[in-house]
Structure 1
Amino acid sequence: MDRAPEAPIDRAPEAPDGVPEAPGRLPEAPDDGTVTAADIARLAGVGRAAVSNWRRRHPDFPRPVGGTSASPVFSLGQVTAWLRGQGKLREVPIEEEVWQRVRAAAGDTSPAAVIGEVGVFLLHLAAGTAVPPASSGTAWDAVLRSVQQLAEAWGAREALEFLAGRHIETHSRRSDITPPQVAALMADLLDPGAGPVLDPACGPGTLLLDAVRGSQRPLFGQERDAGLAQIARTRLAFRTSGASGASGASGVDVRAGDALRQDAFAGTTVDAVLCDPPFHDRHWGYEDLTADPRWEYGLPPRMEPELAWVQHALAHLVPGGLAAVLMPPAAAGRRSGRRIRAELLRRGALRAVAALSDSHHLWLLRRPSGAAPPGVLMVEGAEPDAVVRLWRAFQHAPDVDEPGIARAVPLIDLLDDEVDLAPGRHVAASGSARTTQEYVRTRDRMAALVRRLDSLVPDAEPAAPRDVPDTSVSELVRIGVLTVLQGPSGRDPDPDPAGRPLLTADDVAEGRAPSGRVLPGEPWITLRTGDVVVTAAARRFAARVVDEGGALLGHHLWLLRADPAALDPHYLAGILRSTANTRSAAGATTGGRTDPRRARVPRPPLDEQRRLGAIFRRAQELEHALRDGAALGGEMARLLADGVVQGRLRPPAS
């Protein structure tokens, strides 16, 4: 899914010309509508945990007006009034105001239908054919006015992508959204020069958007949620024709309806089908579809709707056409589906199974157009680029064998009593030759690291004690030498591979690159080169200097931004790790959290700070190198044992 541009954290977007009210203003008279705890956190610029604390500690906090005990919703008007009365209502970015108006317009129903209608308005707006909303009219006019303002600030397509992304984020627990990296992989697997593409369970259009890739191929989609179908239709119209017209792009046909029960494209064949069907849908229409002609390979069992979607995809392919269908891993070995799996193999329809994760397998199928191939490609634990490479190679050389990653398995080996298609069962473990190569490579890395260690030992010598003036971090903030910022509270958000890099507390403690990735949605702070980041979730400081800016500051982290003309950041990071500072900061708080503002920093001359900073930096590099060495040592010991067992490693000749 495409991401809308992230609004700046420290200021609201500039007001576009001709708009009477600037974005970033406080809301006027509160609209009717409801908000979740996450929405309240965004309005106040705090984390979810702060909202929970307010509910417990403030008897006058608005009561829920709906939802469940686990996911309550509140009156937008009551919440806005309470936040304003408490002085907690921050300036609201225009995108947040638009989102709240859309939610209010949706009422108790899903916002998808409203976003779909907004998408049509944005298409007209981009084409210059939109009817301007009345300056004083209905609540819907107010929605369109705010949407127009967002479009003028961001662009019409980006405005739609923001609303679609926020809806997907809000409903992520109730709907399965294809991971972006998986969607990109499925599009990469399309045959070169492939024409029309169909997604019979397209949701908000994620797979079809990836299938565009600058091509003018016709795109067909079906989605049982009419609102999501409209969102997909407008997103694809923007992607394929830009602002060329509000009527949508030629060659894009997205319809609402249940593709299994009411196939909107019956009789239509395409070159490719991309599909991430709803897993475990036990009410897929078994009773009504028992005699359906799509079941060429057998009647799908009542409890295996995934095999219905596989056959639906095959029924829409031209001979030789490719279907890429995401499947739950259990579908590879359920006893109830073994007859259909066997028939897919015998007739040459199933060509490859790739285990992408613990929750997703990818089946690649072709509509039979000749003799069945001699085997099926099985892939386990490969990166997306490797999956594409292996699939391309398999088309020309059906004897692929990369131990530990992929193997072309003969049909005779698959057509047993179980017909188990789990790749892990068929991909051979790493071969003995590979074990030997990996051992030699790991041994050489260890030898190079050992040679490097001597140069990393800090070069400091004993000296007579001397008095050096020191001051607290809080005082440095007061005099303008330091800026101190704190990351959001609460638990780390669920990662999103399409999001921006997020530095976590574990990353700081272990000295590694940012490992998190998140979409916009909280008041994230963007890191700059030279920032000092400190963990605040343990009774010891782990501080590091940011080498490359651009990542976001994660939960339970503090950021200390020094004036480099007065304070060296590497010196500051080293001083913060001292035992005295750890005790002082940890002893000042409860719950095991540290507060670096109580730390004290000696202030020698700047040139001496820089020399000491270089020593601190070398000491930290040594710490990280020793940690890497421990990991290499464990891996080398394992490979040595494997090589000895395989008879491929022995002591050198004396």
Structure 2
Amino acid sequence: MTAGDIARLAGVGRAAVSNWRRRFGDFPAPVGGTASSPLFSLAEVETWLRAQGKLQRLPEDELLWQRVRNSADDLRLLSLVSRLAAAVAHRRLGTLLRGEDSEIAQALPELVAAEGDVPLIRATAALAEARGREETVEFLYTRYTEAHSRRIQEISPEVAQLMAALIQPWTGEVFDPSCGHGGLLIAAGSEPGKVRAVGQERDAATARLAGARLAVRGIDSDVRRGDALTGDAFPGLQADAVLCSPPFSERGWGYEELAGDPRWRYGLPPRGESELAWVQHCLAHARPGGQVVVLMPPAAAGRRSGRRIRSQLIRAGALRAVVALPSGAAPQSAMPPHLWLLRRPAAEDQVPSHVLMIDATVSPEAVVPTWHSFVTDPRRETVPGGRAVPVVDLLDDEVDLTPGRYLVRPVTSPGGMAGAREELLSATAELTGLLPTGSESPRDPFSMISLGELARAGSLQIVPGPLRTEPGPGELAVLTAQDVVLGRAATGRGTGGPGLVVAQPGDVVTSLSTRTPAARVIEEKTALGPQLVLIRLDPELFDPHFVAGFLRASARQPAGSAPGAARVDVRRTQLPRLPLAEQRRYGRAFQRLERFEEALRRAGAAGELLSRLALDGLASGKLQPDPEAGPGPSRDVL
């Protein structure tokens, strides 16, 4: 079991488990895994937790999961989970609970693959009888995705719900040709009885699990195994709507063998543009007038190789809208993905004159109302939350469908022009009072010593931050490198884990990047994220602001001969040998300089905002110039 499993058993956070490992010498030693992701014995952990009074009774679901986890290795875990889920989803629980092992094995030949599967099926059925089929199947699915979080690229529930909302309200048949674990079909079938869900998935175990998740929700479904492009399991299907989150940038999607396929009505997809093959596959399986929503990588909107197909989609009236989603919406892409909203043209349709462009990074909640407003009147260019772009403007040499190219994001300020002016005046007034001062009289060169030498002497400690932090919505606040650069409170969140580094008040934290050199004195206890180094000082020997100031100065002059070195070698940072009283004098000067730099950043940001507000206001007619304003620098132009 992992540290996360232990935390769930005891009802605590991951940070507590890490703390136990450090504090208690009798905590069970790892029996497998790696240094960063150790595995522990369930029996040993259970014994230790009971001895410490931290566990009264093992939860039934966690006990089942540990039995499942210990019955299959990583490669066979999905197969086992899907078979257990399918058993409780499609079979009578009474039969599974009270039947003989041999009878169950004979009745479920496709679900019993190894010795020991029947007791696990019986245990899963017992949990389903106590807690319900849906909760049990979702528990197994959730635990599996957590165990393989780095391998599984699953669409988020929020994006799935958005895609489903774009085709509602309606009743009928919805198809997902790359359905994964069934997330999009579940979102579309949120009202059982109105939708029949049809899906295809390459991996047999994944398809089985998707079918089980749909069945326990009461959604009429048909999920089959196979590659939808090269082995279409539903060749005659004409669905009312198609939702799809296809794999991105696949080169082996079947270019050679499918060159003459009738699905390519809008052009043969280029070898490197598998997404355009999926778009046309989805359109081929929609009835005339049926809706299609496909999650796409942003590059597909402007790649030169795909411009002919994009052009044909527009000319035929198949492409109706493109929505730019926020970053992180698609696990396959580090860049903000797009949604392509399409409609299979019907014989009586007129070719639309406009394509809707929406930027959902500003207000995601406005996407659905904006789309419905456009559908009501597709010729109106001014659409709240987006812009209806004339087709003629899209059909140029590039056929670029990137929404940001056609949308101008308005510059806004809570206080408007007056608020921006006041902020600029306040920041510049503060700047005047913080102008750096100091005597320019020369002094003898410092006698220097490196932090590495001081660390070896035991005068301070240098502790690198973790290589990574366990992501999650846990209670642990994590200071990021960007937080240190901007001088703000911790904005990261995590669940702790091995290698956790916690900074205490008086510690100095520095960023390893020289692009934005920064060092900061910690005022409140906080955990550190990656790309940070902690320096813990002896307060009888060092002033922390003195040390932070010289770290910042050193970071602006990267060590090493390579130009543009990108990391700071903290141990090579040189400090002057000065008495503590003199260090404090320098520390106060460094603090004042930090406040000056912060005021300078505020003034720059306020000045840029004021300039953009004035420019947009004058250009849009919302702001009138002073009729008596002259060109001289002493006049107030606005």
- After TM superposition, the score normalised by the length of structure 2 is 0.62
- Residues 427-481 of structure 1 show CA distances to partners (whole Å, capped at 9, x for unaligned) of 2x24xxx65x857646469989x9xxxxxxxxxxxxxxxxxxxxxxxxxxxxxxx
Equivalent pair of 1:294/1:312 in contact (CA under 8 Å): yes
Structure 1 residue corresponding to 2:190, chosen from 194, 206, 213: 213
Matching of residues 233-272 of structure 1 within 5 Å? 233-239=211-217, 241=218, 251-272=220-241
Matching of residues 241-640 of structure 1 within 5 Å? 241=218, 251-357=220-326, 358-369=335-346, 370-380=349-359, 381-401=361-381, 406-427=386-407, 429-430=408-409, 441=416, 443=418, 492-495=469-472, 540-542=522-524, 637-640=610-613
Q: Report the CA distance between 1:255 and its aligned residue.
A: 1.0
CA distance in 2, matches of 1:43, 1:218: 38
Structure 1, 181-190 or 92-101: larger mean CA deviation: 92-101
**Matched residues, percent identical?**
42
- Residues 186 and 106 from structure 1, CA distance in 2 versus in 1: closer, same or farther, beyond 3 angstroms? same
How many equivalent pairs are there?
478
Equivalent pair of 2:279/2:294 in contact (CA under 8 Å): yes
Which residue of structure 2 aligns with residue 230 of structure 1? 208
Q: Report the CA distance between 1:389 and its aligned residue.
A: 1.3
Which residue of structure 2 aligns with residue 98 of structure 1? 64
Which residue of structure 1 aligns with residue 112 of structure 2? none
Structure 1 residue corresponding to 2:151, chosen from 163, 174, 197: 174
Q: Report the CA distance between 1:107 and its aligned residue.
A: 3.0
Which residue of structure 2 aligns with residue 111 of structure 1? 77
CA distance in 1, matches of 2:20, 2:294: 41
Which residue of structure 1 aligns with residue 96 of structure 2? 130
- Residues 107-159 of structure 1 show CA distances to partners (whole Å, capped at 9, x for unaligned) of 35242221222113323677644334779996324423543454355433112
CA distance in 2, matches of 1:640, 1:331: 33
- Residues 500-521 of structure 1 show CA distances to partners (whole Å, capped at 9, x for unaligned) of 8876668999999997788x99
* Amino acid of the structure 2 residue aligned with 1:217: V
Q: 1:642 aligned to 2:615?
A: yes
Structure 1, unaligned runs of 5 or more: 1-34, 242-248, 451-488, 524-533, 544-553, 558-581, 593-625
Q: Report the CA distance between 1:276 and its aligned residue.
A: 0.3
- Residues 406 and 500 from structure 1, CA distance in 2 versus in 1: closer, same or farther, beyond 3 angstroms? farther
Structure 1, 81-90 or 341-350: larger mean CA deviation: 81-90
Q: Report the CA distance between 1:105 and its aligned residue.
A: 2.7
Structure with max Cα Rg: 2
Q: Report the CA distance between 1:332 and its aligned residue.
A: 0.8
- After TM superposition, the score normalised by the length of structure 1 is 0.61
Q: Report the CA distance between 1:536 and its aligned residue.
A: 10
- Residues 117 and 535 from structure 1, CA distance in 2 versus in 1: closer, same or farther, beyond 3 angstroms? farther
CA distance in 1, matches of 2:366, 2:389: 18
Report the RMSD for the aligned CA atoms in angstroms.
5.0
CA distance in 1, matches of 2:316, 2:372: 21
Q: Report the CA distance between 1:286 and its aligned residue.
A: 1.7
- Residues 124 and 345 from structure 1, CA distance in 2 versus in 1: closer, same or farther, beyond 3 angstroms? closer
Q: Secondary structure at the match of 2:223?
A: strand
Equivalent pair of 1:116/1:230 in contact (CA under 8 Å): yes
Q: Report the CA distance between 1:384 and its aligned residue.
A: 2.8
Equivalent pair of 1:505/1:535 in contact (CA under 8 Å): no
Q: Secondary structure at the match of 1:277?
A: coil
- Residues 59-81 of structure 1 show CA distances to partners (whole Å, capped at 9, x for unaligned) of x955657xxx798775x65x755
CA distance in 2, matches of 1:183, 1:517: 24
CA distance in 2, matches of 1:394, 1:128: 52
Which residue of structure 2 aligns with residue 4 of structure 1? none
Q: Report the CA distance between 1:42 and its aligned residue.
A: 5.9
- Residues 555 and 132 from structure 1, CA distance in 2 versus in 1: closer, same or farther, beyond 3 angstroms? farther
Matching of residues 43-58 of structure 1 within 5 Å? 46-47=14-15, 50=18
- Residues 651 and 133 from structure 1, CA distance in 2 versus in 1: closer, same or farther, beyond 3 angstroms? farther
Which residue of structure 2 aligns with residue 159 of structure 1? 136
- Residues 173 and 221 from structure 1, CA distance in 2 versus in 1: closer, same or farther, beyond 3 angstroms? same
Structure 1, 210-219 or 396-405: larger mean CA deviation: 396-405
- Residues 323 and 400 from structure 1, CA distance in 2 versus in 1: closer, same or farther, beyond 3 angstroms? same
Q: Secondary structure at the match of 2:71?
A: helix
* Amino acid of the structure 2 residue aligned with 1:367: R
Q: Secondary structure at the match of 2:372?
A: helix
CA distance in 1, matches of 2:38, 2:469: 22
